[in-house]
Amino acid sequence: MDRISADLQRELASCAHALADAARPETLRHFRAPGLESGNKDAGGFDPVTEGDRQAEAAMRRVLAELRPDDAILGEEYGHAPGTTGLTWVLDPIDGTRAYLAGAPTWGVLIAVADARGPLFGIVDQPYIGERFSGGFGAALCDGPHGQRALKARAPRPLSEAILFTTFPEVGTTADRAGFEAVSRQVRLTRYGMDCYAYALVALGQADLVIEAGLNAYDIQGPMAVIEAAGGIVTDWTGGPAHDGGRVIAAANPEIHAAALAILAGHAG
């Protein structure tokens, strides 16, 4: 990693873990709590937000105000705050709020620190399970109840043997869904509704692909950093940069990425 110095790499990684530590108790305070309520950010549909979302992001912003006050911030709940360093902290305090409301532990806290070219270091943290996936600066790790292990994405295998994840059965637009379903018909197993945990499973070597659409930068940058550090690849449906969101494919290796991308190509316009 030649984009920043080794000392700054250590500082940024330490700060990212401090953010995850700050968010954990705020999310757990409300998870599976009696009477948990949500607001709706989408007048035409259902895009829930809870006090857990708001309080977790507020806690992370307080840490950044202390440790990295000159960096920019892009957060799902409180928007953009400008900075002067060329670095931006990209925060999704609860990715998978629907799962959070339902009591399913597939949601997570997503953190990335990025420059103009994309994420440098990222974290996918699942507070209830106690698993933290981190990647960047030459390392990819999972810390959890069973200790620490290195992350390594799965080796190449035929698309017909692959495990594919997506968050929703209804992926984006009609064209988006057609592209996803075209790949789904070619794989061995498709699983739905896993939110950010699906990306963690690609980094862990348990799954081969995640295909989604309609993502924001804060949905993908943390998982993207972790998967790439574990040897995987994350692009848009044309093979281009994915750090701004949109249509995204995350793959365990370049070979299975190419196989899925060839099918998506007809739906990527």
CA angle at 251 for the pair 246 and 255, rounded to the nearest 5°: 125
Residue closest to 140 by CA, chosen among 250, 226, 16: 226
In the chain the domains, ranked by start, together with CATH numbers, are: 6-150 (3.30.540.10), 159-267 (3.40.190.80)
pLDDT at 46 over 50: no
pTM (2 decimals)?
0.93
Q: Residue 39's pLDDT is what?
A: 62
Tens-place pLDDT, residues 135-168: 999 999 999 999 999 999 999 999 999 999 998 7
What is the C-alpha separation between 253 and 249, in angstroms, rounded? 11
Residues 6 or more apart whose Cβ sits within 8 Å of residue 44: none
Element of type H or E holding 189: strand 189-192
Tens-place pLDDT, residues 187-216: 999 999 899 999 999 999 999 999 999 999
Distance of alpha carbon 166 from the chain centroid: 12
What number is the average pLDDT over the span 43-63? Answer: 80
